Chains A and B, each alone.
Chain A
């Protein structure tokens, strides 16, 4: 199966749900609205994209949005194995909230949604067990992977204990 056929098939399956379909380097990004993401995910799953490799969130403070992408692929359809479809949704940055896709993709997104929740503060409605996964609660409340949590790096002159001249 080649890349045009994939686009064709995804378009057919999603119908009018997809706002934007574009090839990135290595995956096909499909942008949908947060309100109908469950429907879109269900349709992708019925097409054969049966598991999610990564729930990726990216913070765009300038555009004041957080983009959550479900990088889905297939274990059961051999012609789909080589492709990754990213089902994306844009969420407002001040109150990111979206339905959880555990009901669609089951265990493969369960822990990763918890991760996005703790690092970005995205609330997944309907998630069976939404609590921080890697971080402790106090740290998770700082939403550390958002861009406004700044990590300072030392410069190349800092921290030297010796004085010369």
Chain B
């Protein structure tokens, strides 16, 4: 049949993962995260937060209204920007932010996650998740705005600091479980040998890295409003700004997914069975819930912390987080030597 290749292309699982789970799922999670961030911050600050858009839903529709506004808003392109980069960078950053989702399995059944059963999924997911900051720097640079350039410079400083932390602390899971395959990492943690319990140091370092990489509080430095307006995004408006802002939440979610798999045991203690419900839906919900907890915790931090100064954040990374990550890695080696997982 001539239709077969086309059908195969349409039903090609990675495509589904990117389109359905990656895009829509990330969007949904981003919306929940934004809503929670506003609502939690409002509660801590003794306000109500989003309310009037839908009092019964706690103002959740407010976020959708916000999205609609961003999309319909006039797109103002200053005359002095480098147009091609200005358009491409935020969109590319958003897409690249979602890409790691392909390599993150939400179930151990290979029939649902053919790509995920590859042996280097953790490495590739990590590698992809470190790409978007480069595009953010490009976005800031192309804006031809002094605040944007300062913001980009800060972003580049922060990347150099957190990247090593993120990679070393997350790879410490591989050191302990002797595999780069995320499915095997999760299976090794069944049922309650979660790495957060066995190796909390690496987990702490990983969370610090996520905080820095997605410029969450207390490391919200590149976009720090009171010096550099909106950092790299200063000149952006409308949908392009929404891409920039959404990208940060998606990146946070992707990191949270990786951490949920690596440290929080993924779908453990549940063991995926055959069939779409037991093999696909239930484990994905468990993983997404675990990831959401991390995302919501990060959102909550906005309410209680201020932001560090740039040099203090970098100092925290080099003096505290990197040693922590290395100690965590060594701890993992020790775990592997003792043979906890095997």
Q: Are A and B in direct contact (Cβ within 8 Å)? A: no
Query: B-side interface residues toward A, CB under 8 Å?
Result: none
Query: A-side interface residues toward B, CB under 8 Å?
Result: none
